[in-house]
Chain A
Amino acid sequence: MRKYRPKDNVQAKAYHTDRFYVVPTVPKEDVSTDKLFSKHLETLKAKVDIQSAYIQIGQLRVEVNHKDNYKAIEILKNECGYEMLTEMSAVDYLAQEGKFEIFYQLLNLKERKRMRVVCKIEQGLAIESVVPLYKSANFAEREMFDMFGIKVNNHPLLKRILMPDDWEGHPLLKRYPLQGDEFAQWYEVDKIFGKEARDIIGPENRDPAKIDRYDTKRFSRVGREVPFGADISEGEPETPIEYSETFFVNYNAGTKQLDKRK
């Protein structure tokens, strides 16, 4: 039987995993181990419902409900001094839970603390934009929309940013193949010549080392020259190489003074 390949995650997978292999976890520390983080968490806890909170590799990770994302980040900005949103994006967990995980990476410059606000959101739901709080979210949220198709409410201009405006599909989804789907493969052909030209033009060659033995348009064989585009599948004529005769000029024989002034 052919091997079953899941459609919801087509990314590269380990071809072999030891059956006794237990995946270790990066240690999670309790928030109470860090004074500043526990203070920030207390402030946040008073107003927002927190699903989980722990410290991993020196940074606090707080999970909140996706409806509270704006409220939580507003509190962190105004009351805990997280003045900069350095990054925000999403992680695709559609195959496992049917959800996206959106993270906001915040930085407190005065206390030198970094934390992550994380919220999970089902596919098809929209998240509230944090552009009124941080303008850096403008491009970041657009990129998230472009790459995952997560809609953002109240964003000033929610449109594709890296991919062309007429693109179909969202490339960073796990179900989107690395080589691109059918739309991606025929994007230029469809756009320039129309769908009916697909058969004439043929699929794109993605192998940079591909050499066609019978191609007389891009390759030639020394000693077997044929006209451009000739069909050589039936065999090709031999055209022996003729070298031109080499003349040796003796420059020392006669010294001719060309410039009379010298």
Chain B
Amino acid sequence: MQEVNRLTPFFENLNFEREDNTMVINFGPQHPSAHGQLRLILELDGEKVVKAYPDIGYLHRGIEKMAENMTYNEFLPTTDRLDYIASTSNNYAYALAVERLLGIEVPRRAKVIRTILLELNRVISHLFFIATHALDVGAMSVFLYAFREREFAMDLMEDYCGARLTHSAVRIGGVPLDLPDDFMINLREFCDNVDREVKITYNALLEDNRIWRMRLENVGVLSPEEALSWGCTGPMLRGSGIAYDIRKEEPYELYDELDFNIPVADTNDSYGRYRLYMAEILESTKILRQLIVMYDETEPQLMAHAPRYISAPKEEIMTQNYALMQHFVLVTQGMRPPKGEVYAPTESPKGELGFYIKSEGEPYAYRLKCRAPSFFHTGLLQELLVGTYLADVVTIIGSTNIVFGEVDR
């Protein structure tokens, strides 16, 4: 029995006398390093994790259910709320799935704008990762520097669509707006700044920082076989030495015309993954620079011409009777894609984001399944955390880069 006195704390529900005793602690759901609403039930032997059980569902909003009760265009803004760090990639993945179902081709300028937005989103998301991961591990200043650059990226998004987090900047069949006048000038400046910041500031703060390396190296080691088995995608898969990027392997939009590399890390640990994210930001700015040149060579058309499914441009609606009637039907009833099913994978900043849509020819999707990368990365935690120390739990959660809007949906 514990003796109660002022020097030794007394825990009424814990018994430390048995040697084989393990302690069960709750990590989250309100823990600042839980990246949202993750509740981890950890069984500890001393400071070593014996068993980890990720408990999710605290942010469940039934987005797949809502998809069955909304027309295709209505649902698009809802996809913003999946991975709210990079909403355009969700909008795009959904729009791509519907476009493949409809079998429509998007105009080239819309493709350029979409690719710009996707890559800008990747930069935003990766900067957010570096900021929060560093903050979790204890490097506070990196957080401030990375968030500064992220603010500029969000300003660019704001210039384009008016929103900073929930963009809804992509439509089924194209994009709603052309780029504002000085967007390209700002984008070029932003690319230069990000490159400089990543290469100089973050690198100097983290790359050879002794504490950073000690906290990250050989922590969260994930073998390639395990990564495949757990359905890891994106940086988690490439961090384990498997070079599979959907942008390269199954190209969509303009990625087959762009020149970029796929960084791969073969150390399998958190440090390798962190370096991967840094390298991916540089690749994204490289893509963005190429897109600035490509934009000038395109025709000004922004939405695909498919009168059965997509409203005509506003001028036509206002001047032509038939276009107005089509628009009225599409707004009140919604588009009716053909009967069939589609699974469209895209490379979101977190990994493979895919939408499976089953259409029965109705204006409502019969079934929509969102394949969220973070969901599978959360499942991985129950194995990745076992055998590590409590101090490394935060590092590992940080390096899986999970976002709970996407996990719980």
On A, residues with C-beta under 8 Å from B are 11-16, 21, 23-26, 28, 56-57, 59, 61, 83-87, 89, 91-92, 103, 105, 109, 112, 114, 116, 134-136, 138-140, 143, 147, 160-164, 171-172, 174, 176, 178
Q: Is the CB of B68 within 8 A of A56?
A: no
Whether A87 pairs with B371 at a CB distance below 8 angstroms is yes
Q: Determine the chain A residues whose CB is within 8 A of the CB of B360 once the complex forms.
A: 23
A86 & B231 in contact (Cβ 8 Å cutoff)? yes
Q: Is the CB of A87 within 8 A of B369?
A: yes
Q: List 15 A-B contacts (CB under 8 A).
A: A11-B364, A14-B363, A24-B339, A26-B340, A57-B101, A84-B231, A87-B371, A91-B358, A91-B367, A105-B343, A114-B343, A136-B229, A171-B62, A174-B68, A178-B62
Chain B 116-156: CB-based contact to A (< 8 A → 1; otherwise 0): 00000000000000000000000000000000000000000
Residues of B within 8 A of A (CB): 56-57, 60, 62, 64-66, 68-70, 100-101, 103, 226, 228-231, 233, 242, 244, 249-250, 333-334, 336, 338-343, 345, 352, 354, 356, 358-364, 366-367, 369, 371, 375-376, 378-379, 383, 408-409
Q: How many Å lie between the Cα of A116 and that of B60 in the bound state?
A: 27
- Most chain A CB inside 10 Å of its own CB: which residue of B341, B364, B378: B341
Determine whether the beta carbon of B367 is less than 8 Å from that of A92.
yes
A25 touches B338 (CB 8 A): yes
Our pick among A24, A160, A178 for the contact of B338 (Cβ within 8 Å) is A24
Please tell me if the beta carbons of A87 and B354 are within 8 angstroms of each other in the complex.
yes
> By DSSP majority rule, is chain A's interface helix, strand, loop, or mixed?
loop
Chain B residue contacts of A13, Cβ below 8 A: 362, 364
Tell which of B101, B231, B362, B363 touches A85, judged by Cβ atoms closer than 8 Å. B231
Question: How many angstroms between the C-alpha atoms of A161 and B70 in the bound complex?
Answer: 25
B residues less than 8 Å from A56 (CB atoms): 340-342
Q: Is the CB of B57 within 8 A of A136?
A: no
Kindly provide the distance from the CB of B144 to the nearest chain A CB, expressed in whole angstroms: 35
Would you call A57 and B100 a contact (CB within 8 A)?
yes
**Contact between B228 and A83, CB atoms less than 8 A apart:** yes
Tell me whether B369 and A136 are in contact (CB under 8 A).
no
Residue among B62, B343, B409 having the largest count of chain A Cβ atoms under 10 Å:
B343
